[in-house]
Structure 1
Amino acid sequence: MKKYLIAGLLVWLPLAITIWVLHSVLGLLDGVFAWLLSASQALLPAAAHSPLEMLKQIPGLGVIVMLVGLLLTGMFATNIVGQWWLRQGSRVLQQIPIVKSIYSSVKQVSDTLFSSSGNAFREAVLVQYPRQGSWTIAFVTGRPGGEAGEHLSGDYLSLYVPTTPNPTSGFFLMVPRADVVALAMSVDEALKYIISMGVVAPPTHLPAQPVRNLAG
C-alpha cells in the first residue's frame, strides 16, 4: 500500500506544482492587466467603460497582451529609431537619484544574463566551497573586472554558487582557474541537480574539457 501511495504521489506532485505555479503566474498577470484597464477607465469616456469591463473577464488575456507587448517592444528595440529612443530614455533614468542606482544595476545584470554574446551561466563547474574538501556546483559568469580584478594576480574566474532548492539566491566567488573543475553536463542538467538537492543526478557524459578561456 505504501509503495503504491508513493508512486501515485510521484506522478501527481510534479503535475500539481506545475499547475499551481502556472495558475499563480496567470493570476498575477491577469491582475496587473485588470489594474491597467481600471486605470484606463479614469482617462476614457464613460462609453468605453463597458468594453473594458468585458476585457477583464477574459481569462489569460493578460498573458497574451504581455507576449504581444514584448514582441512589439523587441521589434522596436532592434531598429535604429528604437535604439535611439531607448538610449535617450536610459540617459534620463540614469540622471534620477536612487532610480539610477537600481536601474543601472538591474540593466547590467539582465544584459549579462540574456545577451547572446555573454558568458553568464554558459558552463557548469565544480568548486570547493565552503571549505577545502567540500565540493559544490557553480556556474561561470566571466572573469573578475574593475578594481577587484586589478588586485588579483593570475588567471581567475567569476563564479556563481547557487543555493538549493532555490537557485535564485547564492554566492559570488572569484576563484583561480586551476581550482575549478569543468563539467560536461549542461547548465539545465546542473540546475536540475541543484534544485533536487542531488536526488536527480544527470547522466554520465564524456570527460569534461578544461574551463574555456573567457575574453575580457
Structure 2
Amino acid sequence: MSKIRSWFFTGILVMTPLILTIYVVWAFITFVDNLVVPLVPIEYRPSYYLPFSIPGLGLIIVFLFTTFVGILATGLFGRTLIRLWENILNRMPVVRSVYSAIKQILETVMATQSDAFRQAVLVEYPRKDIWAIGFVTGSTKGEVSENVNKKMVNVFMPTTPNPTSGFLLFFPEKDLIFLEMSVEDALKLVVSGGMVVPKRKIKS
C-alpha cells in the first residue's frame, strides 16, 4: 500500500507542473485570440474557409504586427510618426506621465547594457537579522543619489507569491550580499514562498 501511495504522489509531482503549464499557455493563447481575432475581417480568417478555428492565430498576428512596427520605427518615416505621436501625448497632463513612466521602464528593462533584474541580492530588511531577496535594477542616480552622498543601488524587492508587486528601496552597495543564483532561480524561490530552493552550482 505504501508503494502505491508513493507512486501516486510521484505521479502528482510529475503531472501537476505539466498540466498547469499547458493550462496557462492555452489560457494565454485563448485570451489573445479572443482579443485580436475579432478585429480581423471575417473573410480573412482561416475559420471562414475551414471547418475549425486555428488556435494561436491572435499570437501570430500580434507578432507580425509588432515586428512591422519595429521595422517602421527604425526608418525615417516611422521615427517622424513616433515624434508626432509623442508630441500629442506630451500635451495631455495625466496621459503624459503614464506614457513617460511606462516608456522609461520598458527602455530600462529591454536595454542590453542595463543591469536591470540581472542580479539577485540578499538585503537585511525590514530590520536587523531579517533577510529578504531583492533584484538590482541599477545604480541610484539623480536627486536621491545627490542627497545621500553615498554609492547607492536601486533594489526591487518583490512580494510573494506575486513578484510583479513590491517595493523600490535604495541600499548602500556595501550592505548588499550578491547571490550566485540566477534571477530566474531567485524568482522561483520568491514565488514559491521558499518551497523551491535552487541547487547551488559547484565551482570547478
Please indicate the TM-score interval, normalised by the length of the shorter structure: 0.7 to 0.9
AA at the equivalent of 2:195: V
Question: Measured at CA, do residues 36 and 7 of structure 1 come closer, stay the same or move farther in structure 2, by a change above 3 Å?
Answer: same
What is the aligned partner in structure 2 of residue 188 from structure 1? 184
Picking from 9, 12, 28, the partner of 1:9 is 12
CA distance in 2, matches of 1:105, 1:73: 21
Residue 57 in structure 1 maps to residue 53 in structure 2: yes
Task: Give secondary structure in 2 for the equivalent of 1:157.
Answer: strand
Report Cα offsets for 1:147-168 as digits up to 9, x if no partner: 2222212111110011122211
User: Is the contact between residue 37 and residue 57 of structure 2 (CA under 8 Å) also seen in structure 1?
Assistant: no
Supply the distance in 2 between the matched residues of 1:51 and 1:193 (Cα, whole angstroms).
Answer: 45
Q: Which amino acid aligns with 2:33?
A: D
Structure 2 residue 100 is the aligned partner of structure 1 residue 108: no
Partner of 1:30, secondary structure, is helix
1:1-80 equivalences in 2 (<5 Å): 1-37=4-40, 49-52=42-45, 54=48, 57-80=53-76
* Structure 1: runs of 5 or more not aligned: 42-48, 208-216
CA distance in 1, matches of 2:189, 2:89: 40
Deviation at 1:200, TM superposition (A): 2.3
CA shift, 1:206, in A, is: 6.2
Match of 1:85 in 2: 81
**How does the TM-score come out when normalised to structure 2?**
0.86
Q: Measure, in 2, the Cα distance between the counterparts of 1:122 and 1:77.
A: 27
For the 8 Å contact 1:124–1:182, the answer to whether it is kept is yes
Aligned residues: 197
Q: Deviations over 1:68-93 (max 9, x none)?
A: 11221222223343233222222221
Q: Percent identity?
A: 37
Q: Does the 8 Å CA contact 1:124/1:139 hold for their aligned counterparts?
A: yes
Q: In structure 1, give the amino acid aligned to 2:124.
A: Q
**Residue 127 of structure 1 aligns to which amino acid in structure 2?**
V
Specify every segment of 5 or more residues in structure 2 that has no aligned partner in the other structure, as ranges: none
Question: In the alignment, is the contact (CA less than 8 A) between 1:30 and 1:61 conserved in 2?
Answer: yes
Q: Deviations over 1:55-79 (max 9, x none)?
A: 8933221111111112212222233
Describe the shift of the 1:60–1:162 C-alpha distance in structure 2 as closer, same or farther (beyond 3 A). Answer: same
Deviation at 1:18, TM superposition (A): 0.7
- TM-score for the superposition, normalised by structure 1: 0.82
User: What's the offset of the Cα at 1:24?
Assistant: 1.2
Question: What CA distance in whole angstroms lies between the structure 2 residues aligned with 1:205 and 1:50?
Answer: 55
Match of 2:199 in 1: 203
CA drift at 1:193? 2.0
Does the 8 Å contact 1:126/1:137 carry over to 2?
A: yes
The answer for the alignment partner of 1:150 in structure 2 is 146
